Amino acid sequence: MQAFVTVGSTKFDDLIDTVTSEDFLTRLSASGYTRLVVQYGSSKLRQPFRNETSHGVEVIAWQFKPGLSEEYLAADLVISHAGSGTILEVLRLNKPLIVVANETLLDNHQKELADALSAQGHLISSTVSELPRALESVVTKKLIPFPPFDGSKFARILDEEMGFL
Domains in the chain: ranges and CATH: 2-162 (3.40.50.2000)
Mean pLDDT of 11-17: 92
Which carries the bigger pLDDT value, residue 124 or residue 110?
124
User: Given pLDDT bands bounded at 50, 70 and 90, which one contains residue 107?
Assistant: low
pLDDT of 121-152, one tens digit each? 999 999 999 999 999 988 778 899 898 877 77
Q: Which pLDDT value is given to residue 24?
A: 94
CA-based R_g, the chain, Å: 17
Mean pLDDT of 65-78: 95
Helix (H/G/I), strand (E/B), else coil: 77 = strand
Contacts within 8 Å (CB) and 24+ apart, 50-55: 54/22, 54/25, 55/22, 55/25, 55/26, 55/28, 55/29
Q: Which pLDDT value is given to residue 56?
A: 87
Q: Which pLDDT value is given to residue 86?
A: 93
Residue 119 pLDDT > 70: yes
CA distance 61 to 7: 12
Q: Which pLDDT value is given to residue 28?
A: 94
- Above pLDDT 90, what percent of the chain? 58
pLDDT of 16-49, one tens digit each? 999 999 899 999 999 999 999 999 998 887 765 6
Mean pLDDT of 61-86: 94
Judge whether 135 and 31 are in contact, CB under 8 Å: yes
CA distance 109 to 81: 12
> Which residues have a Cβ under 8 Å from the Cβ of 55 and sit 6 or more positions away?
22, 25, 26, 28, 29
